[in-house]
Amino acid sequence: MTAPKPRPGILDIQAYVGGGHEAPGADRVIVLSANETPLGPSPLAVKAYESLASSLHRYPEGGSTELRDVIAERFGCAADRIVCGNGSDELISLLVRAYAGPGDEVLYSRHGFLMYPISAMSCGATPVAAPEANYTVDVDAMLAHVTSKTRMVFIANPNNPTGSYISADEIRRLHTGLPDDVLLVIDAAYAEYVTRNDYTAGGDLVEEFDNVVMTRTFSKIFGLAALRLGWAYCPTHVADVLNRVRGPFNVTAAAQAAGVAALADVAHMDTGRAHNDVWLPWLTKALSDLGLTVHPSVGNFILVRFKSKQAADDGYAALLAAGVIGRQMGGYGLPECIRITVGLEDENRIVVQALERHLENS
């Protein structure tokens, strides 16, 4: 065999499979598979996106300067330590590529976001999963898995797919236990949905320490998943590294313009949060009342546990027959669970009706 071969580890990667968007045969398709907002993007963002149609021949402004200024003002960050990316996924993989390689370990929690091990393996680093306690990051277990080879620690807070979070005190305890040369990445993709007093997205730790990065996204509450837009808040030296390794035009002009407009539409974000505040607890209670185990979530989705993998597969099929696309969780080591995004009112009611009927008949 003389064909080109990828570097060791690449072929061990299980390619990420995104949430489905099709339910064959259903009259109405209800997509609750990817934690997208059911309310759609801000109309202001759509307008900004459309206004770019006549200048598609122009390269974007490479530094996302206006967008970073608007983010800085809105979130109380320093603009020169923000780096924008083609989705926060890009920032996650750039961080891993810059700080870890063969022989290094990248630590995450057992049911953490799959892009962490995938990014680690794609640069030859070894992903290490620390066990969780009750489907929540276990700080002691994380610290117990730090070795001399650990270069980075990822936590999603809140975590996808479990919906759980750890408090600001717990994040600080995790940080305090890490050596200064280990980079702690706090992925706060769902931060805007969280309404708990003891929660921090992590920006305060970025301000305070030289080894903490916070990543955020426009894909969730801001409804711009198609445009691929995320940002990282970093210590100066990490921002410098990301700016060296990223593509010079990694964020499209359309994404920059839509991002600026989305941030200006504060009412749209507030509506998204208020909607979730009503329907997250509603869905949690309604499915719990059916005898299913629903893990307490602070995001815009719930993890629903069935009695077995078979029961979860059957539940998934019953939803699909009703036009509802949830997300199967085998890839996360949770084959007995389905993740369901909070939808519009009638979508949520259809979810509950479909599962109620299914469970009555099984």
Ligand X SMILES: *Cc1c(COP(=O)(O)O)cnc(C)c1O
CA 34, 35, 38, 42: dihedral to nearest 10 degrees? -100
What are 128's two structure tokens?
Answer: 């290490």
Cα 189–39–136 angle (5° rounding)? 30
In this structure, what token pair is assigned to residue 18?
Answer: 């995104």
Taking the least distance from each CB to ligand X, the nearer of 215 and 322 is 215
Tell me how far, at minimum, the Cβ of 217 lies from ligand X, in Å.
3
Residue with tokens 């979730």: 276
Residue closer to ligand X (CB basis): 64 or 322 = 64
Single residue of 37, 88, 150, 256 touching ligand X by CB under 6 A: 88
Helix (H, G, I), strand (E, B) or coil at 266: helix
Q: Which of residues 94-113 bind ligand X (CB under 6 A)?
A: 113
In DSSP terms, 106 is beta-bridged to 127, 152
350 vs 335: CA distance, rounded Å: 23
Tell me the CB-side half-sphere exposure of residue 6, using CA atoms within 13 A: 9
Q: Give how many residues touch ligand X by CB under 6 A.
A: 14
**Shortest Å, Cβ 264 to ligand X:** 20
Among 37, 119, 136, 219, binds ligand X (CB under 6 A): 219
- Residue of the chain from 30, 206, 225, 255 that contacts ligand X (CB under 6 A): 225
Running DSSP on this structure, what letter comes out for residue 318?
Answer: H
Q: At closest approach, how far in Å is the CB of 163 from ligand X?
A: 10
Residue 87, interface with ligand X (CB under 6 A)? Answer: yes
Nearer to ligand X, 70 or 286 (CB): 70
The nearest distance, CB 312 to ligand X, in angstroms, is 20
Nearer to ligand X, 99 or 113 (CB): 113
Nearer to ligand X, 23 or 214 (CB): 214
The span of 142-150, 218-226, 270-278, 352-360 binding ligand X (CB under 6 A) equals: 218-226
Q: Measured between alpha carbons, how far is 312 from 338 in angstroms, rounded to an integer? A: 7
Q: Please tell me whether residue 187 binds ligand X under the rule CB under 6 A.
A: yes
Nearer to ligand X, 160 or 297 (CB): 160
Q: Can residue 189 be called a binding residue for ligand X (CB under 6 A)? A: yes
Beta bridge partners of 341: 301
Of 161 and 315, which has the nearer Cβ to ligand X? 161
Question: Dihedrals φ, ψ of 60, to 5°?
Answer: -70, 165
- Neighbouring CB atoms inside 10 A of 18's CB total 9
Backbone angles phi, psi at 65, to 5 degrees: -65, -50
Binding site for ligand X (CB under 6 A): 35, 87-89, 113, 156, 160, 187, 189, 217, 219-220, 225, 230
